[in-house]
C-alpha cells in the first residue's frame, strides 16, 4: 500500500502560469516525500548563460502556513550574459512536516542586477507551480534500503540500484503510456534514456515481492 500511495502522489502534475516579462525559458520540478519531508529538485532553463555563468538561485525560502507549503526561488541573472543557453538544477529539502494533506506552491522569480535584499524591487514572479500531496507518517520511504536512481535529471545513461533483485523495469510518461521496458534479473541496471523526449517520467522497478516507483526527468 505504501508504494501505491506514493505512486499516486507522483502522478500529480504541476499547474503552470506562463512566464511574463522575464528571462526564464521554463521552470519545472521533481517533488517527492520521504521522512516526512519534501524534496524539491528545481530545474530552470534560460535562453542565455552557460557553465559557471548560468543564472543561480541567490535566495530561497520554504514556509509552511497551516496546510500550505510556499516556496520562493530567486534566480540572479546578473553576469549571465551573453552565452547561448543553459539549465540550472538545484535540490532543496523542507523541514519535517506533520501528517496531513498539503498544497505546495512554488514561485520561480528573476532578480536583476542592482537588487538589495530583502528589498527585491527588481524581480519578476515568472512562474507559479502548484500540486497537492500528503504526509503519510510512514517510517519507511523510497530511499531506504539502498535504493538509488541517478543522475536525476538524466541526459544519457540512468542507473538504477534497488538492493533487491529486479525482474523488470518499466518507464511511463506522465500520461500513463509505457515508453520503455527491460528485463533485468539483477539488483542494478543502467538504462539508456538518451532517445526519450526531455520530459518527466515514472520508473517502476518490479521485483518478486516489491515494486519501487520513482520519478525522473530527461533533459538535453
Q: Which of 42-46, 104-108, 110-114, 135-139 has the highest mean pLDDT?
A: 104-108
pLDDT tier, 59 (very low <50, low <70, confident <90, very high otherwise): confident
The pLDDT of residue 4 is 30
> Which letter does DSSP use for residue 136 in this model?
-
Question: Mean pLDDT, to the nearest integer, of 38-50?
Answer: 79
Query: Domain locations in the chain?
Result: 2-135, 148-217
Instruction: Please give the sequence-ordered ranges of beta strands (E in DSSP) within 35-122, or none if there are none.
Output: 37-46, 56-65, 68-76, 86-93, 100-111
Q: Per-residue pLDDT for 172 more than 60?
A: yes
pLDDT at 33 over 90: no
Q: Are strands 100-111 and 68-76 parallel, antiparallel or unpaired?
A: parallel
Distance CA 98, CA 137 (A): 8
> Model pTM greater than 0.75?
no
pLDDT band at 17 (very low <50, low <70, confident <90, very high): very low
Q: Which of 215, 199, 207 is nearest to 45 (CA)?
A: 199
Per-residue exposure over 83-122, b if at least 16 CB sit within 10 Å of its own CB, e if not: eeebbbeeebebeebeeeebebbbbbbbbeeebeeeebee
Per CATH, is 148-217 categorized as 3.40.50.1260?
no
Amino acid at each position: 500500500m505504501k508504494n501505491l500511495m506514493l505512486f499516486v502522489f507522483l502522478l500529480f502534475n504541476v499547474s503552470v502560469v506562463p512566464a511574463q516579462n522575464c528571462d526564464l525559458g521554463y521552470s519545472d520540478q521533481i517533488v517527492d516525500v520521504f521522512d516526512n519531508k519534501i524534496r524539491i529538485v528545481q530545474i530552470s532553463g534560460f535562453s542565455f548563460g552557460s557553465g559557471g555563468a548560468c543564472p543561480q538561485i541567490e535566495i530561497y525560502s520554504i514556509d509552511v502556513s497551516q496546510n500550505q507549503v510556499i516556496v520562493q526561488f530567486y534566480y540572479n541573472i546578473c553576469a549571465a550574459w551573453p552565452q547561448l543557453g543553459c539549465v540550472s538544477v538545484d535540490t532543496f529539502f523542507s523541514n519535517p512536516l506533520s501528517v496531513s494533506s498539503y498544497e505546495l506552491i512554488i514561485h520561480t522569480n528573476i532578480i536583476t542586477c542592482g537588487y538589495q535584499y530583502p528589498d527585491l524591487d527588481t524581480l519578476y514572479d515568472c512562474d507559479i507551480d502548484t500540486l497537492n500531496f500528503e504526509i503519510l507518517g510512514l517510517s519507511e520511504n523510497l530511499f531506504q534500503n539502498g535504493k538509488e536512481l541517478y543522475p536525476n535529471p538524466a541526459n544519457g545513461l540512468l542507473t538504477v540500484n534497488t538492493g533487491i533483485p529486479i525482474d523488470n523495469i518499466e518507464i511511463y510518461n506522465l500520461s500513463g503510456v509505457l515508453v520503455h521496458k527491460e528485463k533485468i534479473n539483477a539488483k542494478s541496471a543502467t538504462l539508456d534514456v538518451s532517445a526519450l523526449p526531455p520530459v518527466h517520467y515514472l520508473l517502476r522497478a518490479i521485483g518478486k515481492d516489491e515494486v519501487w516507483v520513482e520519478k525522473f526527468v530527461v533533459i538535453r
